[in-house]
Structure formats: structure tokens, C-alpha cells
Structure 1
Amino acid sequence: MPERRRLAALACALAVDMFGSGLFLPVSLLYFTEVADLPLSTAGLLLSAAAIASLPVPMIVGHVAHRFRSLDRVVLAQVMQGAAFLLYGWQHTAAGVLAVATLASIGQRLFWSSFFAVLAGLAAPGEDRRTTDRRFAVAGMIQMAATGVGTLLGGLVVVYGWYEPVIYLNAASFLLSAVLLLLVPRDRRAPAVAVPAGGYRAMLRDRPYLLLIAVNTIFALCSVFVGVAVPVYLVDGLPAPDWLVGPLLAATTVLLASGQALAVRLVRPLSRSRGLALSGGLWVIWALIFAAAVRVPSGILVAYLLAGMVFFAAADLIHAPLSNALSAAAAPPGQRDRYLAVYQYCFAFAGILAPGFFTVLYARGPAVPWLALAAVAAAGTVGMHLLDRPLTAREKSAADVGG
């Protein structure tokens, strides 16, 4: 029963957080240009600098994870982000925006470096893999659904120019999420204060886990590539109607918000690493389909692109829950929080790499980024196949110890 109460409170906190973040997403740059009166190029550089400044956070979290409960770190992250968005309303200089954006970015990194450790900590000793995977799938579905609803409402904000209210609503969502997290029942046991044996040196010698991080960085690049590349490709690279961008991404969001539990059930006969290899193969197909779109007749292009996005959605549906579950299962029990914090660099690096990867290659031809992505995803798929034996053995060993 306490585990169900924890999961319910976590689900509510995550939904509130993601709704506010989704609401802010469509106006993230427009706010700084329309309200803070900063040039678009300056605003973009400031946000990029803030993101880079927050890169050390997962390493720091991993270093102190054994001293502070992961749930307490998540609460702190929400308070930091809520405070940052409250402060945004008073920032009209580049220096002020940079300071506040850095605070928000640090809070965001702290959240994602700690949240999955909270989810992993809900598992009972010897818990069945299906239960663990389903828990991560439910969290992913809540994240996508709440973000999608927020983004749709954020689109209306852009139409009516209600930028400042969105800032304060987003701040309120973070602070409300923190309050909900305070209602999550705590483990009565005090967190251990002894430094886990080996520290980062042990992690650097853990080649299977390091390779898992490298492969998942590739898969995370595939996941975020859709938001970076698809709008530009459809508008500038193909004879596709401009109105297609919104429905295409919206339909994908609906699939991702509703299908993760089903995807986990369908790939259950596979090991987690083989399931992730399958998602890599699906991303290869998706990238090749989009690369070939430049030669598709305009009369069937819309249907062709919609069919192609099914492969992206299928890949992401499998990847989202399994990657987080595998990263938790493959980490040594005594250092799980540390490993999961560092694992978040997959998504940080992917977010930094994606815009440059796309724009540099796009200058060489509209299909070039997609062909390059297919090649990279194929390498990741091979890498995940190579990891199947060591990671599956590690999962079974951990299950035997837990049981």
C-alpha cells in the first residue's frame, strides 16, 4: 500500500510538472523576445549557455547521492525551477536572464538526475520485471500526455500573446509539484552516509555500463531529432503543406502518451537490451523512410510521412520505458543513484548535439541528416546487441540477490 501511495503522489506531481513545462514550451523563446525585449539570437545563446552551465549537475548528484534521499533532491529541483520562473518576470537584461535561466536549467538537470532513482526505489526485493517496466511505462505516458495537453494550450497562448501569465503558471506548477512530492511517504530508514565503494573510478571501469550510456545517447538523439528536424524538413525540404507539422507531431504525441504500456507488453518475450535493439532498428527504418521522402510524389507525400512516423512512434514507445528500466537494473545496487544520475548525460548530450547535427548536415542536402541518422542508429543497434549478454546476466544476478 505505501508503494501505491508513493506512485500515485509521484504520478500527480509529474503530471502537474509536465503540464506546466508543456505550456511554456511554445513560448520559451518568444517570451524573451516579446516581453524581455531581447534579440532572438541573444535569447537563444543565453539559453544554450545556461544548458551548458548545468552539465556538471548529474556528476555532482552522483557524488552526493548516497547522502541525500532521491525524493528530497526532486523536491529541491522543483523549488529551484519554481523560483526561477517567478524571477523571470523581473528580468529584462541579458545578465539577469542568463542567471535565472541557469537556475532553471540546474533545477531541471537535478530533477531528471534524481526522478528515475525515485521510481527505481519503488521496486520491492525480487520484483518481477514486468511490474518494473510497467511502472516506467506509466511514468512515460503521464509525462507525454501532460506535456501534450500543456503544449496544445501553449499554442493558444502564442495566438493571444499571454506570455507573462504562462511564466507564473509554470512557476506555480513546479511549486505545486513540490508540495505534492512532500506528501509522498518517505522511507523510514535514514539514507546511508558511507561513500559507495569505488566511486567514479569503479564506474569508469564498468565498460558494459559505459557502452550502454554511449548507445543510449545515440537512441536519445533519435528521440529528440523529431522535434528539431521534422518541422524544418517539412516546411523547407519537401513539397509538404505547412499545416502538416502540427498534426504530425500531435498524432505522434498521442501515440506516445497512450501506447507505452502496450509496447512493454508486446516486447516482454525479449530481454530489455534486445527490446532496445529493436527500437534502434525501427529508428533506422524511420530515418531511411524520411530520407527517401524527397523522391516521393507530392500526391501521396502526406500519407507516406504519416506512415513513416509510425516507425518513430513504435521505436520511442519501446525505448522510453525499457531504457530507464535497464539503466536501473544494470547499475550496482549500492551505487544505483550515482549511476542513474550519470545516465542522464545521454539525454543532455543528445539535446546539445541534435541541432548542430541536423543543421550542419542539412546544408549538404535535405536527405543527408536522415541518412546520417540511419547510420548512427544502426551502429547503436549493433552496440545494443553486443550488450545483450553482459547486461542480461547482470539483471539476472541482481534479481537473484534481491530474491
Structure 2
Amino acid sequence: MSDRRRLFPLGCALAVDMLGSGVFLPVSILYFTNVTGLRLSMVGPLLSAAAIASLPVPLIVGHFAERYRPLDRVIIAQLMQGAAFAAFGWVHDPVSVLVVAMVAAVGQRLFWSSFFSVVAGLASPGEDSRHADRRYAAAGMIQMAAIGGGALLGGLAVTYGWYRPIVYLNAATFLVSALLLLLVPRDAPTPAAEPVSGGYRALLRDRPYLLLIGVNTVFALCSIFVGVAVPVYLVDALPAPHWLVGPLLTANTVLLASGQRLAVRLVRPLSRPQGLALAGAFWVLWALAYAAAIRVPGVALVPYLLLGMVFFAAADLIHAPLSNALSAAAAPPAQRGRYLAVYQYCFAFANILAPTFFTALYARGPAIPWLVLAALATGATVTMFSLQGPLAAREKAPDSPTVPSTA
């Protein structure tokens, strides 16, 4: 079955989903404080508790990954999130907010624990294994473009106080996304696979893959760090104009939405581990450059910060598609769904760690978080480069002859 017949409805479903999520992003905290009347000091812990409660989801998904189509799991995730956001219009007390937020968080975790298995299953028999990089790049570009466009609309919603309509709009986008996913062609059901021996014990003994997860957790922390640290750093520690925060973050989003396929072509001569090591080196340069920003004269600060963001953008453009492609190529074909579900913990842990990591170190000095991040990224880069050998055989092995399409 042609790649395009699968990619078009899948890409449309992802775009609709991310558009709704982007619209809700600027409204998320304000909705609960302005509509439900809950205090800000209560909303934060409730949403954090809901996110923590969803952490077991990838393990559960991994346990059942080889028994159910990943596309079916993604559709269920969209229906769960759509129902949860529709219910947000009716919550009014801490208990109901927590319950509905947990359903939304579980649905979101289920989506990301299953979506990349769908993308991995698009491989055609005999295709070049590096063709997967372009598919992941396309998915990443759709994601960033839709989130960016949605965030602009969400900003207007904040301006005019359209909190409740935005929640219902987000619920509708999840349901529309689920309907679009029904248009993705399904393969004929395949006979039940033989039981995979080892279960999670096999994964825990797979040292190269565990190191890959550890390395990508650091790289995910670097990627998330820009949104957590840059606004505070620019406003509180540097004599930079406050208006610079928006353009810096927007420029990065635009680059991610438009440049991932170009980045994939440029690093094609490198293996995936080498490409990710290059991304790590760019993140080291970015962190060191921003750590040194407190010593830059005010007159040169704006161009200096803009130039520094070039290193971040280069790292993110390379990392986004290659990390997902490598995680799929490095997973044993018979356990790919399980491995990819667990791999999503990289991003879950990074999201949980980033705020505390930054605030605790920032209290010791504005440059300290950047220097520690540079040290972590250096260690991760060296480790990734050392994985070149162990992962080489897995990376070069063609996906499709051993892995049937799972969409």
C-alpha cells in the first residue's frame, strides 16, 4: 500500500489534533482559574498529580503492544482526550478537575506511546531504512506548524476571554482527529504472533537501548529547556528587552515547522547515532553561549542571543526526526511496540525534571543551569557517539522485511 495513502489521513489527523492542543496551550491554566474559580496554587498541583498518575501508561501499552494495532490505540486515545476536554466544561471543584485531568493525561500518554509505532509501521518492503527519517521529519513539521498556528489563535482567546469555547473547540479537534484516523487504511488482520520471550526483562538486559533512552532523556531536557529557562533568564538576569522572548521562541517554532526534512537531507551522510551526537554538540555550544551571555555588553546582547539560538535550532532540527527513527530501528522487530512505548519515558521524565532542574540551579546563580546542562549534554553526546558500534547492525538492518506494517 502506498505511503501517501497512509500518510495523508494520518498527517491530517495529527494536524487537527495539534492545532487544537496549540489553541488550548495559552489558555490551559487561565481556564481553571477564571472559569472554575480555583486558586492558582491549587491548579498547579492538581495538573501535576494528573500527569504523574499517567506515568504507568507506557508500561501498560508496552505489555499489550503486540496484541493490538497501534492505530486502534491512537483512536482510543483521541476519544479519551475528546471526552475529557468536553467534560472540562462542567468541572467546578478540585476533585472533578483532578479526575477529568487524569483522563486527559492518560489519553495523551496513550497517544504518544502508540503514535510512533504507527509511523514505524508505514515502512514498505525493501525500502531504504533511512526513508523513515523523512517520515518522522514530516510528522514533526506538521506537529510544530499546527501547534504554532494554534497558539496564535489561543493568544487571541486569552485577549478576549474565550476560555470555555476554546475548551470545547479542543474537544472537537480530538474527535475530528479520531474520525480522520478511521480513514487510514488498515492491513488485514494477521495471525497471532508467537509469544515474545523475556518481556520487559529482555528490555532491561538491552544495555545499548537503555543507554539510548538515557541519552535521549538528556537531549529531551535540552529541547524542553528553551521554553522553561529562556523567558526567566532574559527577563530576570540579562539587560535584554522583554519583547525578545516571543521572537526567539517563535523563530525556533517556525524553523522546526519548516526545516526538519532539510536537516535530514544534510545529515544523511552520517549514521543516526553520529547525527544525534552532532545535535548534542550543538546543544553544548548553545548552553555555553547562553551561560556566557551575562558577560556580554548590552549593546551586543540581542544579536548574540539570536546567534546562540542558531545552535539550539540546529540541534532540535536534527534531533527531532533522527531520535524517533533511531529508537524504532534499534528496537527488536518482535518487540518494537513495547520498546517504543517505553522510549516515550524520555520525554515524560524530561518534562517532569525541567522546571525543578532549572529553578533549583538558578537559585545558585543565573549561569549555573546552563553550565550544568552543558555538562550533561557533553556526557550524553560522548555516550551517543560510543553507541555507534553497538547500534550499527540494528540501524543498517532494513525495517520492512522483518517488520510488517502495523497501522
Instruction: Pick the TM interval, shorter chain.
Output: over 0.9
Deviation digits for residues 99-151 of structure 1, max 9, x if unmatched?
00100000000000000000000001332133211011000000000000001
Contact 1:2-1:185 at 8 Å conserved across structures: no
Deviation digits for residues 31-53 of structure 1, max 9, x if unmatched?
11111111112111111100000
* Correspondence 1:78 to 2:78: yes
Name the SS of the counterpart of 1:28 in structure 2.
Answer: helix
Q: Distance in 2 between matches of 1:58 and 1:191?
A: 25
1:15 corresponds in structure 2 to 15
Name the SS of the counterpart of 1:186 in structure 2.
Answer: coil
* Correspondence 1:206 to 2:206: yes
1:267 corresponds in structure 2 to 267
Q: Distance in 2 between matches of 1:66 and 1:32?
A: 38
Quick one: which amino acid aligns to residue 332 of structure 1?
P
1:352 corresponds in structure 2 to 352
Structure 2: any 5+ residue segments left out of the alignment?
none
Q: Distance in 2 between matches of 1:401 and 1:83?
A: 39
Tell me: CA distance 1:233–1:178, structure 2 relative to 1, closer, same or farther (3 Å). Answer: same
- TM-score scaled to structure 2, two decimals? 0.97
Q: Distance in 2 between matches of 1:273 and 1:191?
A: 35
* Correspondence 1:133 to 2:133: yes
Contact 1:84-1:103 at 8 Å conserved across structures: yes
1:335 corresponds in structure 2 to 335
1:53 corresponds in structure 2 to 53
Q: Distance in 2 between matches of 1:83 and 1:384?
A: 41
* Correspondence 1:69 to 2:81: no
- TM-score scaled to structure 1, two decimals? 0.98
Pairwise CA distance, 1:3: 2.9
2:95 corresponds in structure 1 to 95
1:151 corresponds in structure 2 to 151
Contact 2:124-2:400 at 8 Å conserved across structures: no
Name the SS of the counterpart of 2:55 in structure 1.
Answer: coil
Counterparts of 1:178-217 in structure 2, within 5 Å, are 178-190=178-190, 192=192, 194-217=194-217
Contact 2:27-2:163 at 8 Å conserved across structures: yes
Contact 2:330-2:395 at 8 Å conserved across structures: yes
Contact 2:123-2:399 at 8 Å conserved across structures: no
Deviation digits for residues 210-242 of structure 1, max 9, x if unmatched?
000000000000011111111111111111111
Q: Distance in 2 between matches of 1:119 and 1:399?
A: 12
Tell me: CA distance 1:399–1:38, structure 2 relative to 1, closer, same or farther (3 Å). Answer: closer
Quick one: which amino acid aligns to residue 145 of structure 2?
A
2:169 corresponds in structure 1 to 169
Q: Distance in 2 between matches of 1:196 and 1:175?
A: 34
Aligned length: 403
Tell me: CA distance 1:191–1:73, structure 2 relative to 1, closer, same or farther (3 Å). Answer: farther
Pairwise CA distance, 1:402: 4.6
Deviation digits for residues 349-373 of structure 1, max 9, x if unmatched?
0000000000000001111100110
Pairwise CA distance, 1:194: 4.2
Q: Which runs of 4+ in 1 moved over 6 A?
A: none
Name the SS of the counterpart of 1:29 in structure 2.
Answer: helix
- What is the CA RMSD across the aligned residues, in angstroms? 1.3
Deviation digits for residues 312-337 of structure 1, max 9, x if unmatched?
01000000000000000000000000
Range with bigger deviation, 237-246 or 94-103: 237-246
Quick one: which amino acid aligns to residue 302 of structure 1?
V
Tell me: CA distance 1:400–1:55, structure 2 relative to 1, closer, same or farther (3 Å). Answer: closer
Q: Distance in 2 between matches of 1:369 and 1:97?
A: 33
Q: Distance in 1 between matches of 2:123 and 2:401?
A: 14
1:296 corresponds in structure 2 to 296
Pairwise CA distance, 1:397: 3.8
2:377 corresponds in structure 1 to 377
Deviation digits for residues 378-397 of structure 1, max 9, x if unmatched?
01001101101111122224
Name the SS of the counterpart of 2:66 in structure 1.
Answer: coil
